[in-house]
Amino acid sequence: EVLWHQDAGYTSKEADVLRMMNVWAPLVPVNVENGCMEFIPGSHKWGVVPHEKDEYYLRIHDDYIKPVEADAVSIEILPGDVVIFSNLLFHRGLPNRAGHVRWSLDFRYQDATQPTLRTTHGHLLRSQRTPKAIVKDAQAWAQLEFS
């Protein structure tokens, strides 16, 4: 089980303006029994709300989630489907009661001209036009010009 949270709640306060697109793709059929994701529609419009530390995760404070929890939508999908959502959207993973692992892939995308606000710089980029030109570090990335 993953508690109600926003992915933006896991970044530093300075990153509150950073917008990311999350792409979640199951590798097995997902449903309520094996722990599908749930979303609160429209919650991406409310900005970053306070999170608090739970035993394993950060979670949205009850004052923010309790009034809207009844609006949650369960996302039951199949392999080959994807869910695309904002880093501001309230979401959770239901408990897995099926007795087998619910495998999935999780990708995050952001504006390449914006800082990641992380201490590591792990960029490896190849251009389709010039595939031998590779950006291997933050210094090379900083020297790129975007138009």
79 Cβ partners below 8 Å, 6+ apart? 25, 26, 27, 28, 29
Provide the phi-psi class of 108: left if phi over 0, else alpha when psi is between -120 and 50, else beta: beta
* SS3 of residue 66 by DSSP: coil
Pairwise pLDDT comparison (45 vs 139), residue with the higher score: 45
On whether residue 68 sits in a domain, the answer given is yes
On whether residue 147 sits in a domain, the answer given is no
Query: Is the pLDDT confidence value at 121 over 60?
Result: no
Give the residue numbers spanning the domain of 86.
Answer: 2-111
CATH of the domain at 63: 2.60.120.620
Q: pTM for this one?
A: 0.74
On whether residue 117 sits in a domain, the answer given is no
Total domains in the chain come to 1
pLDDT tens digits for range 16-50 = 677 789 999 999 999 999 999 999 999 999 998 98
On whether residue 17 sits in a domain, the answer given is yes
Question: Across-strand partners of 37?
Answer: 75, 93
Element (H, E) at 64: helix 62-65
